[in-house]
Amino acid sequence: MDAMQKRSSTIQDVARRAGVGVGTVSRVLNDHPNVTQATREQVLRVIADLGYRPKSAAVTLRTRQTREIGLITDEIATTPFAFDLIRGAQDEAWAHQSILVLINTSGNLDLLNAALDQMYDRQVRGVLYAAMFHQPVNLPERFRELPAVLVDCYSEDRSLPSVVPNEIQGGQDAVATLLQHGHRRIGFINYTTDQPAVVGRLEGYRRALAAAGVAYDPTLVRQADIAPEAVYRTTIQLMQQPDRPTALFCFNDRTAMWAYDALRDLALRVPEEVAVIGFDNQELLAANLRPPLTTMQLPHYEMGRWAVHHLIAGNPQPSPTAPQVQLDCPLVWRASV
Amino acid sequence: MDAMQKRSSTIQDVARRAGVGVGTVSRVLNDHPNVTQATREQVLRVIADLGYRPKSAAVTLRTRQTREIGLITDEIATTPFAFDLIRGAQDEAWAHQSILVLINTSGNLDLLNAALDQMYDRQVRGVLYAAMFHQPVNLPERFRELPAVLVDCYSEDRSLPSVVPNEIQGGQDAVATLLQHGHRRIGFINYTTDQPAVVGRLEGYRRALAAAGVAYDPTLVRQADIAPEAVYRTTIQLMQQPDRPTALFCFNDRTAMWAYDALRDLALRVPEEVAVIGFDNQELLAANLRPPLTTMQLPHYEMGRWAVHHLIAGNPQPSPTAPQVQLDCPLVWRASV
DNA sequence: CTGTTAGCGCCTTCAA
DNA sequence: TTGAAGGCGCTAACAG
């Protein structure tokens, strides 16, 4: 390894070759105005010749700041969302000449603390903490000791800035879409917990109905575990009741997938006889179902961007008034409505 | 931001408080033997009191080495595999007190070069380059200037070490499983390109047949685009031919998903009337299909681990003899066989 | 406008 | 076994 690491040139080398002082080189490096055009060009030429690049370790040591942003994830692993979030964060970080440093904690508190240690040691500009799904979280106090933004989660006490999906808007727009297509009896297969997505999407459902002057019918709203049989059975029940729904709003794309199964067994065609709309926009599922599923997209990419932007531009401080931003879930049009 | 960054303590602070020289502190920090037990404990106590942690920038500047590993990905974005690979890499890196620095290039060459610049500047221990799917790649020469390992891809000239899935073994084991369950006429819905996965899995198919003394019947092997209709049609054709196959080996889980559709329309039950085995083990699909899909798992986690391990322990040098490792694809048993 | 100098925080000789 | 001193590569303050 050492063999190949030909000692790269330093600012001294550049200064010498260019016949100037290191201070001057440093100035052109940092776009300081006090350099004549001539010397600047001269220095730039030598830099190019030598292929010189400043060592970030030296810069950090001197300036006490890095161009790194920590991304700590909590077992976000199994979902394809993770990478969208990472991409969004990276794209924004890159726009600020910064780079992502990644740690997945697997939901392990010791690892989380170790991750924070790392972030300190490296003097990152700040830290993102991303959860696997929209939820409240309880983070160690130490999180308040450096700039931090929560993604797809929020601290119980609301003292840290966070960005999450707008579940209500998502639910409302989904149902409004169904309404616009003439549906009046809209079934809703929700999930059983009380997580924000469940509560928010239901609220959106009600608001859309209310806005359209359609009465809320509790027999149309069911809760089912996210499991094949549970959803299958619920769908069958829903569709076999008198005055059956003509459209289905599903808690997420997996739910919709199993509802598809039930509808097929019921010989009900999508979308001709029953319209279906999902949530999440898990490409792998939604785009590959038959017919392709119309669904609401979770704004992971945008949340990643927002979080990094806020970290860099928002100078986030822990405080009771930390912003809690909700990003819209846009409709992704396919063929199930 | 500055407000919260209470200047953390330095090695000097520790030395002063402990009544020793900085050299001594440095020694206990680095487990140097020449420190008496007494002073070591004394220093350790002060370190704990102060919550002192060495700044990595200073260490790097001095030692010229970091504890960072670069991970450059090529638009690996859309697949859920990405995170498994990242997790594997991180877990192994962590075991070596190292951390991942991530850059996604979106297949953009300029970004790739910029990424390499970053890696140089940061003096990372080495770099992983991961592709979206198993394929040959052509990387810039600069890749040869620092320790690098390719993941899920390999350089055309084989000069860089790489780790990829063992497609042949995967195909062979998949088909062998079917054979063991008594199937003799096994359909294979392959993909149309000539990428390693396509070629390798076919080879595996043939080997399994040969090993079982079953003649290779070309009418059972089809190539279909990875698109719903193409697979659907192919499946129908395959199953309607005289002496139809009793089992189906699908190029990947998405292919299997659409084959399911065709089989259902043909009123053929899985696995009672037709056994199906997929490839990739995309949890989101495989586990959620009805019945859940038996499939071969792509070893992304393991490839990530192997790559980092080799980077750190293998002292990789670009050379014509760089190792090209293939990792097995284990069978994931569900309910479709 | 430019060169020189003093550290940033740490590790590593070199003496003691 | 330990302390002191030098320097890693860079920026910023200070003269000039």
A173 lies in a domain? yes
Strand order in the sheet with A275-280: A221-223, A186-190, A247-250, A275-280, A294-297, A331-332
**And the tokens for A264?**
């097929």
The residue written with tokens 């000539």 in the block is B194
CA of B264 to C1' of C12 (A): 73
Dihedral of CA atoms A154, B91, A298, B134 in degrees, nearest 10, equals 170
Question: Beta strand A99-104 with B99-104: parallel, antiparallel or unpaired?
Answer: antiparallel
Same domain, B257 and B321: no
Same domain, A14 and A160: no
Same domain, B176 and B293: yes
pLDDT value of residue B235: 98
d(CA B325, CA A101): 27
d(CA B10, CA B13): 5
Contact assignment for B257 to A54 by CB distance below 8 Å: no
The residue written with tokens 């199906």 in the block is B276
Query: Facing residues of B102 across strands?
Result: A100, B71
Protein residue nearest nucleotide C11, by CA to C1':
B62
CA of B39 to C1' of C16 (A): 19
B58 lies in a domain? no
Same domain, B173 and B291: yes
CATH of the domain at A293: 3.40.50.2300
Q: How confident is the prediction along chain B (337 residues), in pLDDT tens digits per residue?
A: 333 445 789 999 999 999 999 999 999 999 999 999 999 999 999 999 999 999 999 999 999 999 999 999 988 656 777 788 999 999 999 999 999 999 999 999 999 999 999 999 999 999 999 998 999 999 999 999 899 999 999 998 889 999 999 999 999 999 999 999 999 999 999 999 999 999 999 999 999 999 999 999 999 999 999 999 999 999 999 999 999 999 999 999 999 999 999 999 999 999 999 999 999 999 989 999 999 999 999 999 999 999 999 999 988 877 878 899 999 999 999 999 9
CA nearest neighbour of A280 among A230, A214, A226: A226
Protein residue nearest nucleotide D3, by CA to C1':
B21
Same domain, A117 and A88: yes
Same domain, A204 and A283: yes
Same domain, B279 and B172: yes
Q: CB-CB: which of B118, B257, B284 is closest to A282?
A: B284
Residues A319/A159, Cβ–Cβ less than 8 Å: yes
Residues of A in Cβ contact (< 8 Å) with B147: 1, 4
Residues B134/B327, Cβ–Cβ less than 8 Å: no
A334 lies in a domain? no
pLDDT value of residue A329: 98
Contact assignment for B76 to A99 by CB distance below 8 Å: no
Residues B119/B334, Cβ–Cβ less than 8 Å: no
Contact assignment for A78 to B5 by CB distance below 8 Å: no
Contact assignment for A122 to B57 by CB distance below 8 Å: yes
pTM: 0.93
* C-alpha dihedral sign at B150, B161, B125, A14: negative
d(CA B126, CA A45): 29
Check whether residue A20 has its CB closer than 7 Å to nucleic acid strand C.
yes
d(CA B58, CA A199): 49
Query: Facing residues of B194 across strands?
Result: none
CA of A63 to C1' of D12 (A): 10
Contact assignment for A80 to B84 by CB distance below 8 Å: no
B334 lies in a domain? no
Lookup: nucleotide whose C1' is closest to B61 CA: D8
* DSSP conformation letters of A155-175: ETT--S-EEEE-HHHHHHHHH
CATH of the domain at A46: 1.10.260.40
Check whether residue A268 has its CB closer than 7 Å to nucleic acid strand C.
no
Query: Facing residues of A221 across strands?
Result: A188
Same domain, A113 and A12: no
CA of A320 to C1' of D13 (A): 40
A337 lies in a domain? no
d(CA B24, CA A111): 29
Residues A308/A92, Cβ–Cβ less than 8 Å: yes
Tens digits of residue pLDDT in B231-263: 999 999 999 999 999 999 999 999 999 999 999
**And the tokens for B175?**
């088909």
A322 lies in a domain? yes
Same domain, A112 and A257: no
If one counts the domains in chain B, the total is 3
Same domain, B182 and B253: yes
Nearest CA-CA distance, residue B330 and chain A, Å: 18
Residues of A in Cβ contact (< 8 Å) with B74: none
Check whether residue B324 has its CB closer than 7 Å to nucleic acid strand C.
no
pLDDT value of residue B77: 56
Question: Beta strand A324-327 with A99-104: parallel, antiparallel or unpaired?
Answer: unpaired
CA nearest neighbour of A258 among A284, A224, A281: A224
Q: Is A191 helix (H, G, I), strand (E, B) or coil?
A: coil
Protein residue nearest nucleotide C13, by CA to C1':
B23
Check whether residue A117 has its CB closer than 7 Å to nucleic acid strand C.
no
Check whether residue A104 has its CB closer than 7 Å to nucleic acid strand C.
no
Cα–Cα distances in angstroms (integers) from residue B92 to residues B183, B303, B322, in the given order: 41, 11, 21
Domain of B36, in residue numbers:
3-52
Q: Is A64 helix (H, G, I), strand (E, B) or coil?
A: coil
Lookup: nucleotide whose C1' is closest to B13 CA: C9
Nearest CA in chain B to A117: B53
Same domain, B176 and B245: yes
Residues B282/B251, Cβ–Cβ less than 8 Å: no
d(CA B288, CA A324): 34
For residue A291, say if its preceding peptide bond is cis, omega within 30 degrees of 0: yes
Same domain, A91 and A194: no
Residues B251/B189, Cβ–Cβ less than 8 Å: yes
Nearest CA in chain B to A69: B101
* DSSP conformation letters of B97-108: T-EEEEEE-TT-
Tens digits of residue pLDDT in B285-334: 999 999 999 999 999 999 999 999 999 998 887 787 889 999 999 999 99
CA of A28 to C1' of C6 (A): 21
Check whether residue A21 has its CB closer than 7 Å to nucleic acid strand C.
yes
CA of B10 to C1' of D6 (A): 19
A282 lies in a domain? yes
CA nearest neighbour of B165 among B141, B199, B189: B199
Cα–Cα distances in angstroms (integers) from residue B193 to residues B196, B200, B208, B289, in the given order: 9, 12, 22, 26
CA nearest neighbour of B134 among B204, B222, B88, B199: B199
Q: How confident is the prediction along chain A (337 residues), in pLDDT tens digits per residue?
A: 333 445 789 999 999 999 999 999 999 999 999 999 999 999 999 999 999 999 999 999 999 999 999 999 988 656 777 788 999 999 999 999 999 999 999 999 999 999 999 999 999 999 999 998 999 999 999 999 899 999 999 998 889 999 999 999 999 999 999 999 999 999 999 999 999 999 999 999 999 999 999 999 999 999 999 999 999 999 999 999 999 999 999 999 999 999 999 999 999 999 999 999 999 999 989 999 999 999 999 999 999 999 999 999 988 877 878 899 999 999 999 999 9
Neighbours of B70 (CB within 10 A): 26
d(CA A316, CA A159): 10
d(CA A286, CA A228): 16
Contact assignment for B102 to A100 by CB distance below 8 Å: yes
d(CA A277, CA A248): 6
Lookup: nucleotide whose C1' is closest to A22 CA: C3
The residue written with tokens 């991530």 in the block is B102
